[in-house]
Amino acid sequence: MTGIKGKVIALTGASSGIGEVTATYLAGRGARLVLGARREDRLNAVVDRITAQGGSAVGVVVDVAHREDLKRLTDTGVDRFGRLDVLVSNAGTMAVSPFDELRQDDWDAMVATHITGLLNGIGAALPIFRRQRSGQFVNVASTAAYVVTSPLAVYAATKTAVKVLTEGLRQESGPDLRVTLVSPGFTDTEGVGKGGSPEAAAALLQQRAEIAMPPSAVASAIGYAIEQPDGVDISEIVVRPTVQA
Ligand SMILES: NC(=O)c1ccc[n+]([C@@H]2O[C@H](COP(=O)([O-])OP(=O)(O)OC[C@H]3O[C@@H](n4cnc5c(N)ncnc54)[C@H](OP(=O)(O)O)[C@@H]3O)[C@@H](O)[C@H]2O)c1
């Protein structure tokens, strides 16, 4: 298969930000979408908007930290549309803070969402992709996987894990599967600093106002990786605002 049209794409973190805009972008190009997130009202609003514009989308309330939720998400693709072509693992949390604040629940959430969540997606989609002898993982990391800045160490560590897991998966994926890492820089979304320490959040919000790029920049990078022919793997994309150091 080449292109986006007709592909069945499951996407986590679809209720806002990069995930929401990517879902709309892919729907506009004819993808059939299975969208996951925890906030049902926000998720339903995205599904309704896509459907009203003539697109095809179904929402599944998922917490990516729960293995069975990811299985429900990927199985919905197979049950509703007969197959699954792509899993975009995008769900994430940017509740960053200095270590001394000991915000251990936030540390746990970043590990659960970025690492366990990614592994749950691999566990759910890999058997389907193997059975079909085709499929693509698109994993969203961050430029924080390349450069550690304070107070983003836990976030950076978990996004580095996303990068490492993606490369390992790519090496094991064989000739039938494609594995893509997309690492955005500063992007204008509601998630920037959300839930983090007030000081860290304020600094990130100021940076967002000054340098962030629109989420559509990430959506089109994800679309580019998906639209390549079967035998072509876009392994890694880093997309950042020009003004980001
Ligand atoms: N914005 C940036 O500057 C930036 C830069 C680099 C990388 N990223 C990455 O891009 C991805 C999207 O972030 P964003 O900027 O678009 O922020 P966002 O608007 O806050 O989006 C995050 C999405 O993840 C979902 N989510 C969070 N925890 C979840 C969980 N446990 N289970 C299921 N869904 C969960 C949220 O939905 P619910 O709350 O409804 O579950 C939401 O849809 C994240 O992985 C983030 O780390 C962002």
What's 99's domain CATH number? Answer: 3.40.50.720
**What pLDDT is attached to residue 221?**
98
**Residue 244: inside a domain:** no
ω into residue 184 within 30 of 0, thus cis? Answer: no
Check pocket membership of 186 for ligand 1, CB cut-off 6 A.
yes
**Residue 116: inside a domain:** yes
**Residue 209: inside a domain:** yes
**Residue 245: inside a domain:** no
**What pLDDT is attached to residue 245?**
84
The total number of structural domains in the chain stands at 1
Q: Are 158 and 111 in contact (CB under 8 A)?
A: yes
Check pocket membership of 83 for ligand 1, CB cut-off 6 A.
no
**What pLDDT is attached to residue 3?**
94
- Ligand 1 centroid to 56 CA: how many Å? 22
**What pLDDT is attached to residue 1?**
62
Gyration radius of the chain over CA positions = 17
**Residue 185: inside a domain:** yes
**Per-residue pLDDT tens for 46-87?**
999 999 999 999 999 999 999 999 999 999 999 999 999 999
- Ligand 1 centroid to 117 CA: how many Å? 12
Give the separation between CA 155 and CA 228, rounded to whole angstroms. 30
Range of the domain at 87: 8-236
Q: Please name the residue whose Cα sits nearest to atom 29 of ligand 1.
A: 91
Segments of the chain scoring below 70 in pLDDT: 1-2
Closest CA to 94 of 39, 21, 13, 181: 13
Check pocket membership of 79 for ligand 1, CB cut-off 6 A.
no
**Residue 57: inside a domain:** yes
**What pLDDT is attached to residue 2?**
67
Check pocket membership of 16 for ligand 1, CB cut-off 6 A.
yes
**Residue 164: inside a domain:** yes
**Residue 34: inside a domain:** yes
Residues classed as catalytic: 155
